[in-house]
Amino acid sequence: VVSTQSTEMIESSIKKSLHDEFLSLCLVMWVKSIKNVTRLFSELLYQSVTSLTADSARVIRIVVGRSEIDLNQIKSHYMMQYNKQLQLAVQQKCGNDHAYSTIITMIIKN
């Protein structure tokens, strides 16, 4: 089991040693996914719905892609980490696109 402190040290080392920002980002995401994939997807969803412009494509990819795997765990982690229901966060950020918001929130709800 890798501790949180070890993970942070690994991420920091990757960022310092690699000058290629894209490669660095990929490796950091890989380390995060090894540590806790549920947390990673929860963080990505949070980033997507809290940015100035909602990243609808990312939300769709994660929600649809994880819907039959671990979406319930991601929803639970999201609630625990951010004290807000994922479904409500998506509705509030993406509510102006009613069809998209309705379909995504239905997937999240079920």
* Tens of pLDDT, residues 28-74: 788 888 889 999 999 999 999 888 777 888 899 999 999 999 999 99
Percent of the chain at pLDDT exceeding 70: 92
Whole-number average pLDDT of the chain: 84
Nearest to 39 by CA among 2, 9, 13: 2
**Would you say residue 17 has pLDDT above 80?**
no
**Contacts of 13 by beta carbon, 8 Å cutoff, 6+ apart:** none
The count of C-alpha atoms lying within 13 angstroms of the C-alpha of 107, restricted to the half-sphere facing its C-beta, is: 20
| pTM greater than 0.85 | no
Burial class (CB within 10 angstroms; exposed 0-12, middle 13-18, buried 19+) of 28: middle
